[in-house]
Structure formats: structure tokens, C-alpha cells
Amino acid sequence: MVRFIPDFSQRSTEREIMDGGEYTAEEARQAYRDLRRVNKYLGGRAALLGHLMPLIAACSSRPVTILDIGTGSADIPQAVVRMARRRALDVRIVALDTNPLALEMARQEIAAFPEISLVRADAFHLPFPDRSFDLVMASEFLHHLTTEEAVTFIRRLHRMARVAFVINDLRRHPVPYYSFWLLSHLFTKNRLIRNDGLISILRGFTRRDVDDLRRRSGLRGLSTYFHFPYRIVIVGRHG
């Protein structure tokens, strides 16, 4: 249950509705449509692309292979392909999710994007060997995990990528929390977005949390960037 005056000092352990099954198919489809707008207008897409595109351009292999974990309706892979096309960069993206409703919607959305293929699989049981992709990305997926799971996930991304991985997620802070409460009540009636968006922020990360993840991962070559409005990007490079 979302509280009006929550505790921002620690990550929430409250479960999001969409992490369970207590919703209808139409509620989920509307939620994914709303999430596409959230990524576009509230900085998530721009934060990730700002770090991913230079990595794509610097890759020596062509096409550049990319794995997107927790793709949802695949709006981030579509944004990557659009920008790659404008820059004459050849990419191939495998967009992975475990939710069949998300993949059903993604399949409709990527009809004009042959560069993207869909795979249904669990992020912790990836059907690929290590170093299968040049780049790996995960957008707004990390906050769904416990801290221990997040550490394991970061290590997994490092093993899966030949060149680098990019994680985009939410910064836990009162400003995005109350701003999202207002915006969600102005622009959507979807209870999943209204509820889960706030819980997502409370499950997000502070600078201290990210420093702890970096330390516990044991990985070198991790860089952390903070973007307006309240986005965190973690980039892990090999070499």
C-alpha cells in the first residue's frame, strides 16, 4: 500500500502489483502503453541512450549485438534502432521478457523493426552463454530486485557482455515520488501505474545504495551517472 509520507531512507520491499498476477490483461496493456510515455517524457529513454549510443559507435563488430533484459513492450529497443538508423549504425537487438502480455504487445510494436527479435525467458536463467552479446542493457529492471539479487544481476550482465553493459533505473527521492503522484493522477486512471510507479521509486536507489552495489559486486570498471530528472545510469565496461 502506497503511503503519503513514506520512509525514503531505505529501499522499500513492497511488491508491485505487476510483479504478481492480480490484474487484468487490459490493465496490463494500458500500463505498458503508459510506461512507454513515462520512458519517453520522464527521462528514462534519454538517460540510457546518452550512454549506449557512444558504446555502439565504438564497437568494432558489425552488426553490434545487444541484449535488452526486461524489455516490456520493447520501446527502448525501438528507440535504439531509430537512433542507430539515423547514424548509419547496424544493430541487432534481442529483447527479453518473462511476461507473455508484454511480449504480445512488443510483437505488435516491432513489426517495422526487423533488427529486433523477442525472447521469453527469465533474467536469472538466460538462454545464452557468457559473452554472447557486445552490449547488454536493462532499463528500470534493477529496482524490482532485492539488493542481493541486484548484486548477482550486475555480475550476470558483466559476464554476458563482451564490451559493456548499461543499467538505467530510478533514484529514490521525495521529489520524483510526489511529482509522479501528481502526474499519474492527472494523466492516467490505471491503478497499476498509479500504485506501481510510486513503489518503483521507493524501491529505487540513492548514491549510497549504488556505491554499496558497486562495492559488493566486486567489479572494476563500473561508472555511475546521475541524470535529471532523478535517473541513475550504471555503466560497466570490460578492459
Quote the cell numbers at residue 231: 535517473
Domains and CATH numbers, the chain: 17-237 (3.40.50.150)
pLDDT value, residue 2: 56
Global confidence as pTM:
0.95
pLDDT value, residue 5: 86
CA separation, residue 110 to residues 9, 45, 64, 82, 134 (Å)? 40, 17, 18, 11, 21
118 vs 95: CA distance, rounded Å: 5
Quickly list H helices, 42-130: 44-58, 75-86, 100-109
Catalogue the E-assigned strands of the chain: 64-69, 91-97, 116-120, 133-139, 161-170, 222-227, 231-237
Q: How confident is the model at residue 239 (pLDDT cuts 50, 70, 90)?
A: confident
The whole-number average pLDDT for the span 32-61 is 94
pLDDT value, residue 4: 75
Q: What 8-state DSSP symbol labels residue 124?
A: T
Over residues 136-190, the pLDDT tens digits come to 999 999 999 999 999 999 999 999 999 999 999 999 999 999 999 999 999 999 9
Over residues 82-118, the pLDDT tens digits come to 999 999 999 999 999 999 999 999 999 999 999 999 9
